[in-house]
Amino acid sequence: MMRGSKYYGLKVYDLEARYVGQVSDLLLEMERGRVRIKALELKEFRNKGIPYERVYAAGDIVLVK
Say what the pLDDT of residue 48 is.
65
Phi/psi for 29 (5° steps) reads: -100, 90
Annotation: CATH topology of 4-64: SH3 type barrels. (2.30.30)
- Between 21 and 31, the higher pLDDT residue: 21
Which pTM value belongs to this model?
0.74
Does residue 49 surpass a pLDDT of 80?
no
Kindly compute the dihedral angle of the four CA atoms of residues 6, 58, 64, 31, in this order, to the nearest 10 degrees. Answer: -50
Burial 23-57 (b: 16+ CB within 10 A, else e): bbeeeeeeeeeebbbbbeebeebeeebbbeeebee
